[in-house]
Amino acid sequence: MTIRLRLTLWYSSLLAATLFIFSVSIYVLVNWNTYFELKGELKKQAESIQVGLQSNPFLSVPQLTLSGQLGRDMYLQLVYFESNDVYTSDNMQAYKMVFPYSKDSKNLEEGFQKVKAKVGNQYLDFFVYQVPLYKSDGTLAVLKQVGAYSGPEENMLANLRTILTLSSMIVLIIAFTFGLFLARKALQPIDRVTKATERIQGGSDLSVRIPLEGSERDEVGRLVHTLNFMLARLEHAYNNLDESYKMQRRFVSDASHELRTPLTTIRGNIELLEKMWKQSGSGRLAELKHSQLALDQTQLELSLEAMQDISAEARRMSTLVNDLLSLARADAGYQMEMDNVEIYPLLEEVARRAQLLPRNAEWIVGDLSPLEGVVVRGNHDYLLQLVFIFIENAFKYTPEGHVELSATTKEGHAGIVVKDTGIGMDPEEVPHIFDRFYRADESRGKTVGTGLGLSIAKWILDEHNASVEVETRAGAGSTFTIWLPVAFSDGPQSSIIERTDRPNG
């Protein structure tokens, strides 16, 4: 059974119960109001007619005596229980009519009742008020019944019952039909929800939204709003997952390419050395036994260059593997061990070790004093790696000029500034420099590198709740400012006790 049909049935049942109570109330009220005046007249007529019992020495039973006048359209019947005689008024005798009564004297009570009396060949409705009369010893003597013809009233009440029944049924049918229409109208948003979810289920377009017509702020409207919000979050999550999948594939492709290049170089140089040594060993084996000079000058130079290439590519592979390991830790949610780190000694260590890096630019150590005594919450080794990444990038992209390291502070943050006079980059490229394997177009093919350094730097920055500020322009160099939040520690509590002169006494 559908929700629409259930709602309609519940609504119709409630309406039917309401109509039933209303109809019964109307019928009871009309019935009471219809017989109210008749009851009064019958009771008044019964009180006006007095019945007496007179003893007669010639008769074995007392004789009835009547006093009072019977009103118009009123009928009187007296039942004498000792002789089982029934006395009726003249109008009743004319129609040979008798009111039914109970012959069990114990069940006779004063009150009103509706009876049917046979008049001719048909039974007519009468409304009767009966009063039992008792002797002095408490035995029932006479039953007095005063009645009136109630056919019009009963016909009117029968018509009222028919009208109330038919009208209730018509109202129920109309209400049921209209209820189905209203339920269908009210549940249209749910149909839209169902159709939208079916479209989403049948395809992969998560951008589909459930339409919200007008200002639907009811329960269904809130449901539609909640489902649209959920679809937006699912779309965002799906897009992020899809983007992550694409980045992963690109990462694997680029990593494979980057790892294959040094391996090719190493393999080529090893094959060259093998050929050189094989030629030297086969053609001049006897000479090697008697001479210290096994290779000529050209072969020595080629061998030296090959070994240098192997060494350089091995270092490059080692760097690449270390970078990939760092990024793998970042993806796995690796948590760094944090401690209070003094920035000034760390920068002094960086300045000393940076002099040994391969470079063409001049290395300048600026003013580091603003960070004396400044402590940050972080990991010493990773902070060292972070600064070196920016310095190595500065040397890499500065073929001439200088690279400068300085320090500054601002609003509770320690700033480490790495400035170069290198090739710079377009401002449009800045948002992408922290992507894995991304390298600015200006530097592609001109400088060696894996393109992973700044991705690792971004991870270290995020772990330290730090940020980086970039100022750059193509051909005019770049300035990177690393902002680290300062760790403030509560100093020891102290108080000043002023000297007071004590009187000598």
Question: Region 36-46: what's the mean pLDDT?
Answer: 88
* pLDDT score for 59: 42
- Reported as a single tens digit per residue, the pLDDT across 348-378 is 999 998 888 888 899 999 999 999 999 999 9
- Reported as a single tens digit per residue, the pLDDT across 465-474 is 999 999 988 8
* pLDDT score for 442: 45
More confidently predicted of 162 and 449: 162
Query: Distance between CA 103 and CA 240 in Å, rounded?
Result: 97
Question: Region 170-174: what's the mean pLDDT?
Answer: 90
The CA distances from residue 411 to 60, 354, 379, 391, 485, in Å, are: 131, 29, 22, 25, 9
The least confident of 42-46, 58-62, 103-107, 382-386 is 58-62
Residue among 454, 401, 405 nearest 432 (CA)? 454
Give the distance, in angstroms, between the CA of residue 305 and the centroid of all CA atoms in the same chain.
66
429 burial type by CB count under 10 A (0-12 exposed, 13-18 middle, 19+ buried): middle
CATH class of 197-282+297-334: mainly alpha
* pLDDT score for 257: 62
* pLDDT score for 501: 43
Six-digit token pair at 367?
A: 């003013």
* pLDDT score for 118: 87
CATH-assigned architecture of domain 3-171: 2-Layer Sandwich (3.30)
More confidently predicted of 312 and 444: 312
Residue among 212, 197, 207 nearest 236 (CA)? 207
Confidence of residue 228 (pLDDT cuts 50, 70, 90): confident
Six-digit token pair at 150?
A: 């109630």
- Please calculate the CA angle 7-8-12 and round it to the nearest 5 degrees: 120
Question: Region 94-122: what's the mean pLDDT?
Answer: 85
Query: Distance between CA 487 and CA 111 in Å, rounded?
Result: 101
The CA distances from residue 241 to 11, 204, 252, 372, 433, in Å, are: 48, 14, 16, 44, 21
The partner residues of 211 in beta bridges, in order of sequence, read: none
Query: Distance between CA 356 and CA 55 in Å, rounded?
Result: 154
Query: Distance between CA 477 and CA 450 in Å, rounded?
Result: 21
Which residues, 6+ apart, have CB-to-CB distance to 355 below 8 Å? 363
Which residues, 6+ apart, have CB-to-CB distance to 266 below 8 Å? 309, 310, 313, 314
Core vs surface per residue 329-366: b (16+ CB within 10 A) or e = ebeeeeeeeeeebebbebbeebbeebeeeebebebeee
Say if CB 40 and CB 58 are below 8 A apart: no
CATH class of 336-485: alpha beta
The backbone torsions φ and ψ at residue 148, rounded to the nearest 5 degrees and listed phi first, read -145, 150
Confidence of residue 347 (pLDDT cuts 50, 70, 90): very high
Residue 149 carries which DSSP code?
E
Say if CB 95 and CB 120 are below 8 A apart: yes
The least confident of 159-168, 264-273, 394-403 is 264-273
Domain ranges of the chain: 3-171, 197-282+297-334, 336-485
Say if CB 465 and CB 483 are below 8 A apart: no
Give the strand pairing for 478-485 and 413-420: antiparallel
Residue among 429, 405, 385, 422 nearest 481 (CA)? 405
Question: Region 454-477: what's the mean pLDDT?
Answer: 87
Give the strand pairing for 85-88 and 402-410: unpaired
- Give the DSSP letter string of 11-67: HHHHHHHHHHHHHHHHHHHHHHHHHHHHHHHHHHHHHHSEEEEE--TTSSSPEEEEE
Query: Distance between CA 372 and CA 370 in Å, rounded?
Result: 6
Q: Which amino acid is at 461?
A: L
Confidence of residue 332 (pLDDT cuts 50, 70, 90): low
Read off the pTM.
0.43
Query: Distance between CA 5 and CA 9 in Å, rounded?
Result: 6
The CA distances from residue 110 to 83, 195, 433, in Å, are: 21, 73, 109
* pLDDT score for 413: 92
